[in-house]
Amino acid sequence: MGMTMTQKILADHAGLESVKAGQLIKAKLDMVLGNDVTTPVAIKEFKAAGFDKVFDKDKVSIVLDHFTPNKDIKSAEHCKMCREFAGVKDVTNFYDVGEMGVEHALLPEKGLVAPGEVIIGADSHTCTYGAVGAFSTGVGSTDMAAGMATGEAWFKVPSALKFNLTGKPAKWISGKDVILHIIGMIGVDGALYKSMEFGGDGLKYLSIDDRLTMANMAIEAGGKNGIFEVDDVTKAYLDERVDREYKIYTADSDAEYDAVYDIDLSALKPTVAFPHLPENTKTIDEVGEVKLDQCVIGSCTNGRLEDLEKAAEIFKGKHVAKNIRAIIIPATQKIYREAMKEGLFDIFMDAGCVISTPTCGPCLGGHMGILAKGERAISTSNRNFVGRMGHPESEVYLASPVVAAASAIKGYICGPDEI
Amino acid sequence: MNAKGKVHKYLDNVDTDVIIPARYLNSSVPSELAAHCMEDIDKDFVNNVKHGDIMVARNNFGCGSSREHAPIAIKASGIGCVIAATFARIFYRNAINIGLPIMECPEAAENINAGDEVEVDFDTGIIKDITNGKEFKAEPFPEFIKEIINKNGLMNSLK
């Protein structure tokens, strides 16, 4: 029996000819990632177990992005702990305020992840890097500590769901609509313990930014990882960023999948996930009247340049509705600068939006846009759980940047066609 | 090893944001995290929980964020074991890695009610509901994972 793309990458990193779904393996790691919330717990574990050095100073990334610039004294203490650890251990890829970005936008941008690599991160959205054909998955702080110490992690080899993408998406349809559609279809545990493998003729219509959005939300379907076939779009993206050699894996023709789904991209409509689960999806024609208080465009899901460009297309010459707070968060310093150079900031400011420094901030209810009791936000982020963006009785609606922008202008959830 | 206590029961898709909201993640001190455990869906939990109590939930327990603060908060609140029909995979790893006992058992998740007195035996996987007299058997752990559990967590197993 053949192997899936994920299984082939894991087999190679475990030094095995082949692996089967369900098999427990130890795999070598190409990158171990943590942020300012998860790394402090990992540092404590690392030290308590008596480890002295990280396994490879070039293969550890620590990004201070969640509660930065620090929102309070406790967060500042955590960042200080990370900063000191990175300094003492000589961690090459340490990103502090001024250089940082939202981790899952930053690592691909810096060329720190490449096809065929195995990456773990103490952040559930580490699955994002499957967009460039890597095996990449979220873990906890103790796994991060063990990974930093040994350069290895244990995995249960996942079985897989195959998503065969066909057709050309309509103008305003983006990766966010595709992945929300899929999560709505299979549910928040539809891919539990499994890999989600994306391919097909429709892939060529999805940009790297679209794919990063989709792989990012594999975890919202319970997936262990989401992974894309590597094509010319991927290679063009990597040519500008990755110098080292990498290996491109393809699934065997007789690879086994638990299920194969055909997704016709041309049939998709703008899609919104209602509170309080990403699976509660409705297409834009089904949403009814949902009045809003806040709009957030940013996060590791949709804070990339293409996301900001599309939002600006909608905001251009328009203004947000009265009493709507619209917060734009470019995900990295580079994206921030490029958006500024392209004149997007003028468009956003003329529309009455504010522009934040890169941060995870409001996505997880940290800072920079917390909701009061009874308030509603439309957000381009990835989770709409109870209390995710603030008060337990507030509500978060997940959507693409164009839907979020259009909704901010109208003051209620609507599609870009209404603008 | 055994655990015996009163059941705190929850439904499907209990996410780590409600187990420990991100607004408290500026701390990594177990007792501080435990003080806010479950508060967004069960305000009374922290007042009612007693050492050795058992948490029971349905499918996909611990979904969402990878924050290890979630199993840390549950463990520090005094919970002796979490039983669920299924666990989200990162929570599953984290619980094993930090030594919070968990058991996967759909029948137990379905038939045990809030407030029941339950006893679990980690070695045999037997779950006894003393209140309704029913008995269940959890999925056994693979040997490799048993070894991590027996060594009291991942970091100890590497030593």
Q: What DSSP line would sit under A295-361, residue for residue? A: EEE-HHHH-SHHHHHHHHHHHTT--PPTT-EEEE--SBHHHHHHHHHTTHHHHHHHTTEEEPPS--G
Chain-chain contact of A387 with B60 (C-beta, under 8 angstroms): no
pLDDT of res. A11: 98
CA proximity to A371, closest of A391, A393, A356, A397: A391
What fold, for A272-413? Answer: Aconitase; domain 3 (3.30.499)
What fold, for A5-264? Answer: Aconitase; domain 3 (3.30.499)
Chain-chain contact of A38 with B89 (C-beta, under 8 angstroms): no
Flag whether pLDDT at B146 surpasses 90: no
**Mean residue pLDDT across chain B:** 95
pLDDT class of A41 with cuts at 50, 70, 90:
very high
pLDDT class of B145 with cuts at 50, 70, 90:
confident
A278 or B1, greater pLDDT: A278
- Compare CB distances from B144 to A37, A50, A154 and report the shortest one's residue: A154
Chain-chain contact of B60 with A124 (C-beta, under 8 angstroms): no
pLDDT class of B110 with cuts at 50, 70, 90:
very high
Amino acid at A52: D
In tens, the pLDDT along A65-86 reads 999 999 999 999 999 999 999 9
Chain-chain contact of A124 with B59 (C-beta, under 8 angstroms): no
In tens, the pLDDT along A299-326 reads 999 999 999 999 999 999 999 999 999 9
Range of B116's domain?
A: 2-158
Please give the Cα distance from A8 to A4 (Å, whole number): 6
- Compare CB distances from B155 to A145, A193, A366 and report the shortest one's residue: A145
**Number of structural domains chain B divides into:** 1
Token pair, residue A253, equals 């023709």
Chain-chain contact of A192 with B155 (C-beta, under 8 angstroms): no
pLDDT class of B151 with cuts at 50, 70, 90:
confident
- Compare CB distances from B64 to A67, A126, A385 and report the shortest one's residue: A385
CA proximity to B31, closest of B46, B16, B18, B43: B46
pLDDT of res. A305: 98
pLDDT of res. A356: 98
Query: How many interface pairs between A and B have CB atoms less than 8 angstroms apart?
Result: 135
Residues in chain A within 8 Å Cβ distance of B64: 124, 219, 383, 385
- Compare CB distances from A142 to B145, B154, B159 and report the shortest one's residue: B154
B72 touches chain A (CB under 8 A): yes
Nearest residue on chain A to B89, alpha-carbon basis: A193
pLDDT of res. A419: 94
Residues in chain A within 8 Å Cβ distance of B37: none
- How distant is the Cα of A138 from the closest Cα of chain B, in angstroms? 7
Flag whether pLDDT at B2 surpasses 90: no
Amino acid at B146: K
Of the residues B26, B152, B154, B158, the best mutation for testing chain A's interface (the one with the most A CB atoms within 10 Å of its CB) is: B26
Token pair, residue A397, equals 């609606």
pLDDT class of B141 with cuts at 50, 70, 90:
confident
Torsion of CA A86, A90, A92, A98, to 10 degrees: 50
User: What's phi and psi for B55, nearest 5 deg?
Assistant: -100, 135
- Compare CB distances from A74 to B26, B98, B144 and report the shortest one's residue: B26
Chain-chain contact of B155 with A45 (C-beta, under 8 angstroms): yes
Flag whether pLDDT at A192 surpasses 90: yes
Flag whether pLDDT at B139 surpasses 90: no
Q: CA angle, corner B23, sides to B21 and B28, nearest 5?
A: 85
Chain-chain contact of A38 with B67 (C-beta, under 8 angstroms): yes
pLDDT of res. B140: 81
Chain-chain contact of A138 with B142 (C-beta, under 8 angstroms): no
In tens, the pLDDT along A228-252 reads 999 999 999 999 999 999 999 999 9
In tens, the pLDDT along A257-271 reads 999 999 999 999 999
* CATH assignment at residue B117: 3.20.19.10
**Mean residue pLDDT across chain A:** 98
pLDDT of res. A98: 97
Please give the Cα distance from A177 to A268 (Å, whole number): 7
Chain-chain contact of B154 with A189 (C-beta, under 8 angstroms): no
- Compare CB distances from B98 to A71, A126, A142 and report the shortest one's residue: A142
Q: Within the 17-56 window of chain B, which residues sit less than 8 Å (CB to CB) from chain A? A: 17-18, 21-23, 25-28, 40-41
What are the sequence ranges of the domains in chain A? 5-264, 272-413
Centre a 10 Å sphere on the Cβ of residue A311 and count the other Cβ atoms it contains: 32
What ipTM did this prediction achieve? 0.96
Residues above pLDDT 90, as percent of chain A: 100
- Compare CB distances from B94 to A142, A188, A392 and report the shortest one's residue: A142
Average pLDDT on A277-283 reads: 98
Residues in chain B within 8 Å Cβ distance of A123: 65-66
Flag whether pLDDT at A89 surpasses 90: yes
B88 touches chain A (CB under 8 A): yes
Residues in chain B within 8 Å Cβ distance of A69: none
pLDDT of res. B18: 97
In tens, the pLDDT along B13-46 reads 999 999 999 999 999 999 999 999 999 999 999 9
Residues in chain B within 8 Å Cβ distance of A104: none
Model's pTM, two decimal places? Answer: 0.97
Quick check: do A5-264 and A272-413 share a fold? yes
